[in-house]
Amino acid sequence: MNVKQRICQRLESAERPILICHISPDGDALGAMLGLAIALHKLGKGADAVCQDPVPATYAFLPGADRVLARPGDGYDLVVSLDCSDLRRMGAPYQHLSAGEKSLPIVNIDHHVTNLNFGAINWVDTTAVATAEMVLELVEMMGVSPDVDLATCLLTGIVTDTRGFRTANTSAKVMAAVTRLMEAGANLARISEHVFSHRPLAAVRLWEQAFSETYLDGRILWSVITRGMRDRSNYEPDGDAGLVSFLSDVSEADIAVVFTEKDDGEIDVSMRANPGLDVSQVALSLGGGGHPQAAGCTLRMALQEAVNIVLSDLQAAWREQTGQ
Amino acid sequence: MNVKQRICQRLESAERPILICHISPDGDALGAMLGLAIALHKLGKGADAVCQDPVPATYAFLPGADRVLARPGDGYDLVVSLDCSDLRRMGAPYQHLSAGEKSLPIVNIDHHVTNLNFGAINWVDTTAVATAEMVLELVEMMGVSPDVDLATCLLTGIVTDTRGFRTANTSAKVMAAVTRLMEAGANLARISEHVFSHRPLAAVRLWEQAFSETYLDGRILWSVITRGMRDRSNYEPDGDAGLVSFLSDVSEADIAVVFTEKDDGEIDVSMRANPGLDVSQVALSLGGGGHPQAAGCTLRMALQEAVNIVLSDLQAAWREQTGQ
């Protein structure tokens, strides 16, 4: 019996599984978790979907988003971790489980190369574009045919993690899965609009300022977003409004990095690399994680110090990986 | 016999067809033309692919791009127009045909709502996302199985005209076609990188300046790119580097417009609308054309005058279409 069959068997024999996705959830964490929750409800299970942090406004359209719990309930008989590379990424919900529930087997479903295989059953498929793609396989194996809600959740996960089918791992097999999800009723244009097309005008004003602090250093393009810039542009969220993805499309750069000064003064470092390069190891060595092409970390130090350390590490990684 | 069967019959009985795509060619014009040329070559036809304007650097990767002719050869026995909404869009290549060739039947294959049905056989499918999608249907009907080159051309057309599968008409049927093209060897990530990810750093500098001249007028977001801005940012091409698509993603706007002052002083007007709105009629009334969600025109007048006229027309269209 392979790992997927073992997971299906566990899910089918559970009566009240708790599904937990990672803190600061993105479209794949939420989509995979909510998609699996819908499938388990269809099978008559009392499954709860739990996440430490609130569902971002971008993903509030996901079916079931309003039923995501911040704290676990009780009476669980199985723990399922979705899109988490380690135990810590499940955050408070796992910590808040009772001692008995903490001794339950953990089913670990993830596609991150940095996954630590912390579960009792670990299905870590680093060739999957999204954890949602893996959940679709499980759902189909369990004989659940996706309805429009389930398909919307899973397609959102795939759209998010492939940046709209742009990543190098988006294969014909992935597109066949996308076709099935659309045939089940998922509306790709609507999902893409939610995920990508909701940039407030304040973000344009923010980028205008960030562009004036954007520099090319060899083949690394980097930019800075300070608290002052966010204030002046009335941009409220604690992020870069997608700037790092935008900069990664600049032809002169192989790697893009954005340093965002958060409200609490920590520096959020977000990195992107062209196919063939890997920034996940630099992120991991600085206490973060991610994928070869998209990774990040959070540093508690002055902005300039963070810039110096990260650029120096990235230049070294670039030289090593390109042999230049 | 339906129109597609009639077109296949014409293509199969021709020995030396000339394929012409529209002036200022984009990825769909070139992809559809080059894809059909490859299919006809496989069937032993001496087909020529002709376009008035040079292949833009963005599309130089397309198989056969280096064999696109600027002027027709001779001895043709069929004219095939691809992605052209009227005779004028074929430009000089059609004008340069001999009198005898001009009396040949024209096969008109297009998906623009503004198509004038100027051919002897007109297949205008406004539900198709791209002319390349229509060509795939023809190719499959003629029993040609796409190889990697043919698939690359057609997938590029679909990727370009759906803006990377973002448009509302991107259906499960389209994704099934995409899956088949990828199974035939087309590399989606590579195509997307060519089409979307080759923005020079100068474009970032250009946008920085354009953002300072970006205004929200009701639900219409508009911006201006002057020759001076292009000079100061060392941005050489005569365009907006995709600014209008970017602005169309701003949440406060239903419509985005960019006015680009070209080297010859003409004003290029590029418009985008959210699903449910239609800017093609405004473009058409000003001598341009396009699709409901993406249209444009070129005006010979002062920049400020162009801004006044277009904004006034778009505000009227917005009020009429939203009932506000």
Q: How many CB pairs lie under 8 A apart between chains A and B?
A: 111
> What pLDDT is stored for residue B196 in this prediction?
83
> What pLDDT is stored for residue A24 in this prediction?
87
How high is the mean pLDDT of chain B?
95
Which H or E run includes B323? none
Segment B48-70 mean pLDDT: 96
**Are B253 and B216 spatial neighbours (Cβ–Cβ below 8 Å)?**
yes
What amino acid is encoded at B320 in this protein? E
Distances (CA, A) of B269 to A177, A244, A304, B23, B199: 39, 29, 42, 17, 20
> What pLDDT is stored for residue A175 in this prediction?
98
- Six-digit token pair at B78? 């069929």
Residue with tokens 């801004």: B307
Q: Is B212 on the interface with A (CB under 8 A)?
A: yes
Contacts of A173 (CB under 8 A, 6+ apart): none
Instruction: Transcribe B151-175 into DSSP letters.
Output: HHHHHHHHHHHTTTTTSTT--HHHH
Q: State the Cα–Cα distance between residues B178 and A201, nearest whole angstrom.
A: 34
Q: Which residues pair with residue B108 across a beta bridge? A: B81, B122
pTM value is: 0.84
| CATH number for domain A201-322, candidates 3.10.310.30, 3.40.50.720, 3.40.640.10, 3.90.230.10 | 3.10.310.30
Chain A contact set for B176 (CB, 8 A): 179
Q: Is B251 on the interface with A (CB under 8 A)?
A: yes
Which residue, A182, A177, A188, A125, is CA-closest to B182? A177
Backbone angles phi, psi at B20, to 5 degrees: -125, 130
Q: State the Cα–Cα distance between residues B195 and A22, nearest whole angstrom.
A: 33
Question: Starting from the edge strand earliest in sequence, which strands make up the sheet with A78-82, in order?
Answer: A48-50, A17-21, A78-82, A106-110, A121-124
| Domain residue ranges of chain B, discontinuous segments joined by + | 3-196, 201-322
Which residue, B66, B90, B85, B86, is CA-closest to B18? B90
Q: State the Cα–Cα distance between residues B86 and B89, nearest whole angstrom.
A: 6
> What pLDDT is stored for residue A161 in this prediction?
93
> What pLDDT is stored for residue A124 in this prediction?
98
> What pLDDT is stored for residue A241 in this prediction?
86
Which H or E run includes B41? helix B27-42
Asked if the Cβ–Cβ distance from B204 to A189 is below 8 Å, we say no
Asked if the Cβ–Cβ distance from B188 to A204 is below 8 Å, we say no
Instruction: Transcribe A153-217 into DSSP letters.
Output: HHHHHHHHHTTTTTSTT--HHHHHHHHHHHHTT--HHHHHHHHHS-B-HHHHHHHHHHHTTEEEE
> What pLDDT is stored for residue A269 in this prediction?
97
| CB contact residues (below 8 A), chain A span 81-110, against chain B | none
Mutate to test the interface with B, among A169, A205, A249 (most CBs of B within 10 A): A249
Mutate to test the interface with A, among B160, B167, B188, B244 (most CBs of A within 10 A): B188
Segment B79-87 mean pLDDT: 96
**Å from B252 to nearest chain A CA?**
7
In tens, the pLDDT along B145-180 reads 999 999 999 999 999 999 899 888 999 999 999 999
pLDDT class of B1 with cuts at 50, 70, 90: confident
Q: Which CATH architecture has domain A3-196?
A: Alpha-Beta Complex (3.90)
DSSP SS3 for B6: helix
What amino acid is encoded at B65 in this protein? A
Count of all residues that appear for chain B in the document: 324
**Are A322 and A294 spatial neighbours (Cβ–Cβ below 8 Å)?**
no
* Dihedral over alpha carbons B32, B34, B37, B42 (to 10 degrees): -110
Q: Is B120 on the interface with A (CB under 8 A)?
A: no
Q: Which of B169, B199, B249 sits opposite A249 (nearest CB)?
A: B199
Please give the residue that has the higher pLDDT: either B313 or A113: B313
In tens, the pLDDT along B232-244 reads 999 987 788 889 9
Q: State the Cα–Cα distance between residues B37 and A42, nearest whole angstrom.
A: 50
> What pLDDT is stored for residue A239 in this prediction?
80
Chain B contact set for A200 (CB, 8 A): 250-252
Reading chain A (324 residues) residue by residue, the pLDDT tens digits are 899 999 999 999 999 999 999 998 999 999 999 999 999 999 999 999 999 999 998 899 999 999 999 999 999 999 999 999 999 999 999 999 999 999 999 999 999 988 999 999 999 999 999 999 999 999 999 999 999 999 999 999 999 999 899 888 999 999 999 999 999 999 999 999 899 877 899 999 999 999 999 999 999 999 999 999 999 999 987 788 889 989 998 999 999 999 999 988 999 999 999 888 999 999 999 999 888 888 999 999 999 999 999 999 999 999 999 998
Q: State the Cα–Cα distance between residues A292 and A27, nearest whole angstrom.
A: 19
> What pLDDT is stored for residue A67 in this prediction?
96
Supply the ipTM of this predicted assembly: 0.83
Distances (CA, A) of B227 to A273, B241, B262, B270: 33, 14, 7, 16
Backbone angles phi, psi at B30, to 5 degrees: -70, -45
Q: Which of B164, B172, B200 sits opposite A251 (nearest CB)?
A: B200
**H-only helix segments in chain A:** 3-13, 27-42, 92-95, 99-102, 131-141, 148-161, 172-183, 188-196, 201-211, 227-232, 243-248, 280-285, 303-322
> What pLDDT is stored for residue B214 in this prediction?
97
Asked if the Cβ–Cβ distance from A189 to B168 is below 8 Å, we say yes
DSSP SS3 for A314: helix
Asked if the Cβ–Cβ distance from A208 to B212 is below 8 Å, we say yes
Q: State the Cα–Cα distance between residues A286 and A317, nearest whole angstrom.
A: 13
Asked if the Cβ–Cβ distance from B211 to A216 is below 8 Å, we say no
- Six-digit token pair at A234? 């009335």
Q: State the Cα–Cα distance between residues B105 and B57, nearest whole angstrom.
A: 33
Q: Determine if residue B218 is left, alpha or beta; phi over 0 gives left, psi from -120 to 50 gives alpha, anything else beta.
A: left
Q: Which of B175, B205, B252 sits opposite A200 (nearest CB)?
A: B252
Q: State the Cα–Cα distance between residues B264 and B1, nearest whole angstrom.
A: 49
Residue with tokens 């909701």: A198
> What pLDDT is stored for residue A84 in this prediction?
97
Q: Which of B171, B192, B249 sits opposite A197 (nearest CB)?
A: B249
Segment B239-265 mean pLDDT: 92
Contacts of B161 (CB under 8 A, 6+ apart): B26, B27, B28, B111, B129, B130, B131, B132, B167
Q: State the Cα–Cα distance between residues A135 and A150, nearest whole angstrom.
A: 10
> What pLDDT is stored for residue B199 in this prediction?
86
Q: State the Cα–Cα distance between residues A131 and B63, nearest whole angstrom.
A: 35
Q: Which of B164, B179, B214 sits opposite A175 (nearest CB)?
A: B179
> What pLDDT is stored for residue A168 in this prediction?
87
